[in-house]
Amino acid sequence: MLAAVIALVGSLFFALGAALQQFEAVGTAKPGLLALLRRPRWLIGGVSILAGGGLHIVALGLGPLTIVQPMGVASLLFALPIAATLHGRRPSRKELTAAGVVAAGLIGLVLLVPESHGPTYLSPNGVLTLLGVAGVAAVLLWAGSRAASPAGRAALLATSSGVLYGATATLVRVLVDGTWNWWYLLALPIPALLALMMLQRAYAVGHFGVSFASLQIADPLTAVAFGALLLGEPLPTGVLPVAAAALTAAGTVALARTSPLEAHRDLA
Cβ atoms of 242 and 53 closer than 8 Å: no
Backbone angles phi, psi at 178, to 5 degrees: -150, -95
What are the residues whose beta carbons fall under 8 Å from the beta carbon of 117, sequence distance 6 or more? none
pLDDT for residue 65: 60
Task: Say what the pLDDT of residue 156 is.
Answer: 94
pLDDT at 28 (0 to 100): 65
Beta bridge partners of 178: 120
Spell out a b/e string for 247-260, using b for 16 or more CB atoms within 10 Å of the CB, else e: bbeebbbbbbebbb
Contacts 24+ apart (CB under 8 A), 147-153: 150/205, 150/206, 150/207, 150/261, 151/207, 151/210, 151/256, 151/257, 151/259, 151/261, 152/256, 153/202, 153/205
pLDDT at 137: 95
DSSP character for 120? B
Quote the CA–CA distance of 152 and 255 in Å, as a whole number. 11
Residue 50: CB atoms within 10 Å = 13
Please report, in tens digits, the pLDDT of each residue of the chain (268 residues total). 788 888 889 889 989 999 999 888 886 656 677 778 888 989 999 999 999 888 888 886 777 666 676 777 778 888 888 888 888 888 888 888 888 888 888 888 777 777 766 567 788 888 899 999 999 999 999 999 998 888 889 999 999 999 999 898 888 878 877 666 778 888 888 999 999 999 998 998 888 888 888 988 888 888 888 888 888 877 777 788 888 888 888 888 888 777 777 655 544 3
Cβ atoms of residues 156 and 148 within 8 Å: yes
What is the model's pLDDT at position 98?
Answer: 87
**Nearest Cα residue to 161 out of 216, 80, 122, 82:** 216
- Answer for the pair 97, 37: CB distance below 8 angstroms, yes or no: no
Output the pLDDT for position 266.
Answer: 46
Every domain of the chain and the residues it spans: 1-257
Contact indicator for 181, 137 with CB cutoff of 8 Å: no
User: CA angle, corner 141, sides to 135 and 145, nearest 5?
Assistant: 145
Amino acid at 6: I
CB within 8 Å of 211: residues ≥ 6 apart: 22, 154, 155, 157, 158, 199, 202, 203, 205
Distance CA(4)–CA(238), nearest Å, equals 28
- What's the pLDDT score for residue 74? 78
